[in-house]
């Protein structure tokens, strides 16, 4: 089993873990309805995706 010769400093350990933090999901304002939605997702209020009607609106 591999064992490190030297102890990693807290700074190096934390720099390695820096990208593991949970980020808040991104939201964009829809151009047609003005509501918030996730990028690259269907707007459930209107059923539109990239200017096309994909679903029947609820």
The per-residue pLDDT string of the chain (58 residues; one tens digit each, 9 = 90 and over) reads: 899 999 999 999 999 999 999 989 999 998 888 889 999 999 888 888 988 999 998 7
Q: Report pLDDT for 26.
A: 94
Q: How far is Cα 42 from Cα 5, in angstroms, rounded to an integer?
A: 52
Question: Alpha helix (H) ranges present in 1-58?
Answer: 10-16
Q: How far is Cα 48 from Cα 32, in angstroms, rounded to an integer?
A: 9
pTM of the model: 0.55
Is the alpha carbon torsion for 41, 43, 47, 51 positive or negative?
negative
Q: Report pLDDT for 46.
A: 87
């Amino acid at each position: 089993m591999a064992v490190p010769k030297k102890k990693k400093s807290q700074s190096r350990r934390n720099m390695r873990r820096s990208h593991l933090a949970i980020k808040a999901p991104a939201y964009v304002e829809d151009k047609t309805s003005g509501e918030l939605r996730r990028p690259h997702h269907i707007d459930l209020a209107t059923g539109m995706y990239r200017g096309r009607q994909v679903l029947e609106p609820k």
